[in-house]
Structure 1
Amino acid sequence: MSACSTCAYPSHTQFASPELIGAIVSGRFDRAQDPAWRTSGAATAQEYARWCGHLCGATCLRMALGDEAPSLFELRDGALKFGAYTVDVDGEIHGMIYAPAAAYLREVHGVDAQVHRELTTGGIGELLDAGRLVLASVHYSIRRPDEPAPGRGGHLVLVTARTPDGAGFHFHNPSGTDAATRTAALPVERFGAYFAGRGLSLTPAAGA
């Protein structure tokens, strides 16, 4: 995995303190104690702790929308109104759901967005070549690319460009545990080991 030195999009994380992500995702640190939780836009530390683990998709949207994007929880609120996140009767959070997320992007942010229920890594490359960004469903363990991929899907990353040699993808990972895994690149074949074959593409935000 190598960092992208020329990425045009900001790198954001779904957890407010990037330096604590490793401890948070491993369970060694209580996310409700994150000292930077207020920067997320959450109303309380408890709201932040309940939601932050589910907001990889909203974080990808925040990165794609560029430097003028709303806060993470403002995006969460907007996505909720469109049904891109749902909360069931038992309080379990579901999402991001692609179709309402695409509608939210189009209607609120004026961004062309398209759902791809069946998508190959070759298709990702074609979308990038057409000037689009891709929210790709991958396994969260993509932050450990030197280990065998234990599965596919369940987490979203923002794929921003091909690597200069055309053999890999640059992407931003909202739950990367260090700088090299938050703004990263992998060969297409290795990326494909984590990729679930679905996603959402969008036009870059103006000025991003």
Structure 2
Amino acid sequence: MALCTTCQTPSLTQFASPDLVAKIVYEGHDATDDPAWRTAGAATLADYGRWCKHLCGITCLRMALGPDAPSLFELRDGALKYGAYTQDAEGTIRGLIYAPFAEYVTEVHGMDATVHRHLALDEIPALLDAGRTVIVSAHFEIRRPERPAPGRGGHLVLITGRTADGALHFHNPSGIDARTRTAELPPSQFEPFFAGRGVSLGPRVDASTTR
């Protein structure tokens, strides 16, 4: 996996401490043992620990919004108000739910958000060429593309551009190091992890027009 050197989108993780991501996702490290948890904007450590593993899509939005984006948990709170996440009677978190998420992004953050329930990989370049970024469902093990894909979907990454020869630039909120957080892959390597759905985002309008 090659490092993407041309993308201007900030590279962010869904965990407050990027250097702990590998330990959390591969070694069972407790996410609440994160000294930087307050920087995510969570009200309590317990809230941070419960939610951080579910916020890949919100992290993608935060990257797409740019350096002046609200905190991760402020965005989470906004998405909750629109129903982009739900919780069942046992407290299990479900989401990101695309339609209410797109409504939230459009109405609150002034970005045209379009849900693509059936998205072919070869449709993504046209969206990128139109100035959009694309949040897509991919298996989290896309951070180790040299290994066989164990499945499709279950995680969200942000595709921000492509090279002349068609490689896709993307940002992975659960990348374990710099080269897997901001990366590029040819479509043939990306495809086995890709679930064929996502949400595309248009450029942000002037902040004064948002609410």
Q: TM bucket by the smaller chain? A: over 0.9
Matches of 1:206 and 1:147 in 2, distance apart? 40
Mapped pair 1:184 → 2:183: yes
Matching residue of 2:158: 158
Q: Does 1:139 align with 2:144?
A: no
Distance in 2 separating the partners of 1:178 and 1:156: 17
**Amino acid in the other structure paired with 2:18:** P
TM-score, normalised with respect to structure 1: 0.97
- Shift of residue 14 of structure 1? 0.2
CA RMSD of aligned residues (A): 1.1
2:141 alignment partner AA: S
Contact 1:132 1:201 in 2 (8 A): yes
Q: Counterpart of 2:28?
A: 28
Counterpart AA for 2:125: G
Paired residue type of 1:149:
A
Contact 2:169 2:182 in 1 (8 A): yes
Percent identical across equivalent pairs?
64
Aligned position for 2:172: 173
5+ residue gaps, structure 1, are none
Aligned partners of 1:63 and 1:170: how far apart in 2? 14
- Is the aligned partner of 1:92 residue 2:92? yes
Runs (4+) of structure 1 moved beyond 4 Å? none
Cα separation, 2, equivalents of 1:195 and 1:47: 30
Q: Is the 8 A contact 1:3 1:183 kept in 2?
A: yes
Partner of 1:55 in structure 2?
55
Q: In 2, Cα distance between the equivalents of 1:153 and 1:81?
A: 25
Structure 1 CA distance for aligned equivalents of residues 36 and 144 of structure 2:
25
Describe how 1:58-97 pairs up with structure 2 within 5 A.
58-97=58-97
- 1:166, CA displacement in angstroms? 2.9
Q: Note the residue ranges of structure 2 that are not aligned, 5 or more in a row.
A: 207-211
- Supply the distance in 1 between the matched residues of 2:165 and 2:205 (Cα, whole angstroms): 25
CA distance in 1, matches of 2:52, 2:89: 20
Shift of 1:26: 1.4
CA shift digits 1:137-195 (9 cap, x unpaired): 000000101000010000000000012x3321000000000000000000011111100
The answer on whether the counterparts of 1:66 and 1:205 sit within 8 Å (CA) in structure 2 is no
Structure 1 segment 103-142 matched on structure 2, within 5 A:
103-142=103-142
The amino acid that maps onto 2:195 is A
Secondary structure of the equivalent of 1:32?
Answer: coil
Superposition deviation, residue 27 in structure 1 = 3.5
Cα deviation for residue 206 of structure 1 reads: 5.3
What amino acid is aligned across from residue 73 of structure 1 in structure 2? F
